Structure 1
Amino acid sequence: MTEQKKFKRVEESQVTISELMLPNRSNFNGKIHGGYVLSLLDQIAFACASKHSATYCVTASVDTVDFLAPIEIGELLTMKASVNYVGRSSMVIGIRVETENIQTGEKKHCNSSYFTMVAKDDNGKSVEVPGLILDNDHDIRRFTKSIKRINYKKKRANQFDETDFVSENYLHMLEDYKVIIER
């Protein structure tokens, strides 16, 4: 890490993009297609992580993509991405999606999501990323929430790592669901 800074401020890597939502991005219901929004989310996460690490980055995982409100044709969509957390080679990029009705000025929060990105060298090996300088309560809160989310994800992964799965041990869990078991 001799060529780049050892620590960077959050705002040094922030990225904001805006795009007018056109009819060719809509689904059969006349709303902007969620898949298109996911593609934009991945692009801005890449840009933010690459800006922070000064290297190529790949998407390792996506946590909690919650679609909170539909995005309408003709609205101005704005995405804001920040590095919320850094590990050795990974970064959690927090992204907030808002839209604005350009005629009325009404704004709405449509989505929040968290992408884990990993910095790579030209040979595809993970490389160390700069640390973060947290200079306000907002940055500290986002960093610590990321730690909690990472720990929760590890705990959840361990709960589902069942190599000794026997279906009979779980049949009682299915009693309240709309399933028919035929074997």
Structure 2
Amino acid sequence: MPLISSSIGTEDSVSHTWSIAVPSDRVWWALTDSVALPQWLGKLAAGRFIAECVVRIQQAEDYFCTSRITECEPEHRLRMTWEFPDEPLSTVLITLAPEVDATRISLTHGGLGEEAHNYLPGWHTHLLYLEALLLGRPRSMIDFWSTYEELAKSDTDRRWSQRQCLSKWMNRPFS
């Protein structure tokens, strides 16, 4: 499985580390190209992926994410703000590192507040779609939300199980 790790950080952040068996130039293309973006993230409605530029990505009808590109080092690093109309401003950092016959993608999304638990399976879903695109087997975006729901449920079940184990270990009731 390409997912190496995923977690929710103490500072209301989520992170994923992923490895995909394609070169970093191909991953960069998928991260920034207007043809590739709708197949894993959303439609590029405005802007370009260059430093200090503002991009708008349409994720649903009349629902846009607005981002200011704060760092852009092609094939290596992309940092941007992330803002939906109904969420606080946050920051996404994506770094690419070449590996033997693959590229390691590290994604950290910080400043999420209470939204971190929703973003963990959200980014996992987006990265599944990104990988499928890069491997020449794009997924239908029609299935995006059902895939998200499955991942969110499995993550909730895992956290519940971990809390129960910790509660037993500490010999304390779990609430």
TM-score > 0.5, shorter chain as reference? no
Task: State the TM-score, normalizing by the size of structure 2.
Answer: 0.30
Task: State the TM-score, normalizing by the size of structure 1.
Answer: 0.29
Higher helix share: 2
